[in-house]
Every structure is written in structure tokens, then in C-alpha cells.
């Protein structure tokens, strides 16, 4: 039975898209943005089933690395689902201090991007490949912001 389910699951994986609902919190500081991505409860359960190999409901160092290697760093090809535009120019996106942990049974990714909006700028968290939905839960900013959000993504106009 177990083998049957694995075969079915593997077969379906060839045809289907993975997807995640991610609650997002941003803190925009003068020279950086701190991002917090909290995965939904169901996907967190499934991901912990896969990556929490010692079943302690936490991600230890090795489990955290395996998780980030599978579900965060591959997003580099899609600019980590971020758009940072200063004026009309796209900024290079390089996440720093990337961490993953578990809070209230939900997986959370924390990271920082360097960004100094010296002119009107745009900050978006959006998956152009349509696999993930990002919901803006909270934003703190040292600059004036204008928010445009849907159930799937959000953009902030940042005015220094």
C-alpha cells in the first residue's frame, strides 16, 4: 500500500505544481529590508514530515540546511520572488542572514536584503511563476509607503 501511494504520488508530481500560502512580514529600514515568510499550517506539516527527520518539531542545523536548499535557494532563478526597483532600475537581490525555524508549528524563513531607497522605489513580493501566494500581514517602514496587495502578492511604493 505504501509503495502504491508513493508511486501514485511520484507520478502526479510530474504533472502538478507545488504551491504554498505564505504570510509575509516586512521591516523596511534605512539601508535594508528584513523579510519574514511564514508557511501555512498544512504545508508546514508536510514540510516538517519531510525535513524534520528526527521528529523533534524543530529544524536543527542540518535539517534547516536541507530545507533551505530545497525550498529557498532554488528561488534564486526567480530573484527569490522579490522585485526591488529604485526609480526604474532593478536592484540586485542577494538574501543575507537566511534562517529557517519553526514557530507555532509553522515554518518561518527569515532573511535580509540590502536596499537604500534614495529615490521613489518599488518593493514587491510576487511569484511570477504562480506557484506561491504571498499575503502581506504586517509592514513597518521608516519611509512613507503605499501598499497594493492581493491574495497572491503585494507591492509597496516607498518614498524616501
Partner 1 sequence: MKKLLLLCLLVYRLFAHPVSYTIDLHVSYNENEKSVTVACESDSRNKCGLHDFHLLNAKDETLTTASFPFMKPNTTVACSEKPAKMIFYLRQIPEHTYTVIVE
Residue ranges binding partner 1 (CB under 8 A): 1-2, 5-6, 8-9, 12-13, 16-19, 21, 42-43, 45-46, 49, 78, 83, 85, 122, 124, 126-133, 146, 148-155, 157
Nearer to partner 1 by C-beta: 83 or 110? 83
Closest distance of CB 22 from partner 1, Å: 11
Rg (CA), the chain: 17
Nearer to partner 1 by C-beta: 5 or 61? 5
Closest distance of CB 44 from partner 1, Å: 12
Residues in the chain: 160
According to DSSP H, which parts of 14-156 are helical?
41-51, 61-71
The sheet that has 121-125: what strands, in order across it? 89-90, 82-86, 121-125, 154-159, 144-149
d(CA 45, CA 107): 9
Which residues on neighbouring strands pair with residue 116, listed in sequence order?
A: none
Closest distance of CB 74 from partner 1, Å: 14
Closest distance of CB 99 from partner 1, Å: 25
Q: By C-alpha distance, which of 18, 69, 83 is closest to 9?
A: 18
Nearer to partner 1 by C-beta: 32 or 45? 45
Nearer to partner 1 by C-beta: 24 or 132? 132
Q: Across the chain, how many H-helices and E-strands are there?
A: 3, 10
Closest distance of CB 68 from partner 1, Å: 20
Amino acid at each position: 500500500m505504501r509503495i502504491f501511494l508513493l508511486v501514485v504520488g511520484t507520478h502526479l508530481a510530474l504533472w502538478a505544481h507545488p504551491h504554498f500560502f505564505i504570510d509575509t512580514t516586512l521591516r523596511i529600514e534605512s539601508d535594508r529590508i528584513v523579510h519574514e515568510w511564514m508557511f501555512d499550517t498544512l504545508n508546514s506539516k508536510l514540510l516538517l514530515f519531510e525535513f524534520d527527520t528526527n521528529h523533534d518539531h524543530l529544524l536543527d542545523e542540518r535539517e534547516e540546511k536541507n530545507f533551505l536548499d530545497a525550498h529557498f535557494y532554488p528561488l534564486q532563478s526567480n530573484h527569490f520572488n522579490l522585485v526591488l526597483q529604485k526609480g526604474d532600475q532593478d536592484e540586485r537581490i542577494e538574501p543575507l542572514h537566511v534562517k529557517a525555524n519553526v514557530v507555532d508549528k509553522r515554518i518561518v524563513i527569515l532573511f535580509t536584503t540590502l536596499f537604500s531607497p534614495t529615490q521613489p522605489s518599488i518593493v514587491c513580493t510576487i511569484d511570477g511563476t504562480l506557484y506561491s501566494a504571498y499575503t502581506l500581514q504586517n509592514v513597518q517602514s521608516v519611509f512613507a509607503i503605499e501598499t497594493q496587495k492581493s491574495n497572491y502578492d503585494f507591492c509597496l511604493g516607498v518614498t524616501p
